[in-house]
Amino acid sequence: MNRRYRKTIIAGNWKMNKTASETKKFAEELKTLLPKAKWCDVVVCVPAVNIPAAIKAFKDMRVSVGAENVFYEKSGAYTGEVSADMLKDLGVKYVIIGHSERRQYFGETDVTVNKKVHAALEAGLHPIICVGESLEQRELGITMELIALQVKSALAGVPAEKLRRCVIAYEPIWAIGTGKTATAEQAAEVCTFIRTTVRHLYGARIARSITIQYGGSMKPSNAAELLAQPDIDGGLIGGAALKPDEFVNIINAANQE
Ligand code: PEP
């Protein structure tokens, strides 16, 4: 973390978990556990149908609500899809784009990720752009090339003034939901590389100010070490974000003065 230059953001990704009533219950429990002063921003990304319940439940808690996906067109004949304007209108602040599960199961590509980033920015949302390599790609030694490609294509055509609203999450696929965390050194190496990539694209001042998260089995026991890395400015958390006590312990790890 480096709070002097950029925000620390702890974001939960609930994936396809919890009903609207469970959302309310989670918020009530979280409220009793959250530290009074927060030096990091807290975001909870919930399934689309739970967004209204989440907006209501997290209202007075300084917890922002995020979506887990968005479609890139503004409106029209796209059955089942949700636009960025619809999310914004509900009070959503963040949206996860290009999560590896969406790339793997729903055909998301670097091209659609880029379109979604533009749509989110246009609507005034803050995209959390996910990038990350598979185990095979890591073992082939092409992690950095792949990450550079994903970052460059996600940000293609995004002007500098809009980049301030983007967050990049480094999520090695082999660490997501597997219990296998990247070591702090592995995570830091890639997050630093992402910042260097952004520096080449946008210059040093903007690269210094962008929030880069790590995601992949982050939990209370490893959060402090990961967040101690200067280029890791927070976490995108799946499993551990479903339990208020675990989520708060990660927030506390990011909340050190
Ligand atoms: C994720 O879904 O983005 C994630 C990192 O999941 P987990 O923390 O469960 O590995």
**Tens digit of pLDDT for each residue in 105-115?**
999 999 999 99
Structure tokens at 38: 């927060």
Is residue 177 in contact with ligand 1, taking CB distance under 6 Å?
A: yes
Give the pTM.
0.96
Cα–Cα distance list, 241 to 110, 189, 229 (Å): 27, 25, 21
The pLDDT tens digits of the residues spanning 127-154 come to 999 999 999 999 999 999 999 999 999 9
Ligand 1 probe mutation, 13, 45, 69, 167, most atoms within 8 A of CB: 13
Residue 170 pLDDT > 80: yes
- Provide mean pLDDT across the span 81-108: 98
Of the pLDDT bands very low, low, confident and very high (cuts 50, 70, 90), residue 257 is: low
Distance CA 241, CA 251 (A): 10
Does position 192 have pLDDT exceeding 90, yes or no? yes
Tell the residue number behind the tokens 């073992």, with chain if given.
139
pLDDT at 214 over 90: yes
Q: Which three-class secondary structure state does DSSP give residue 86?
A: helix
Is residue 181 lining ligand 1, measured as CB closer than 6 Å? no
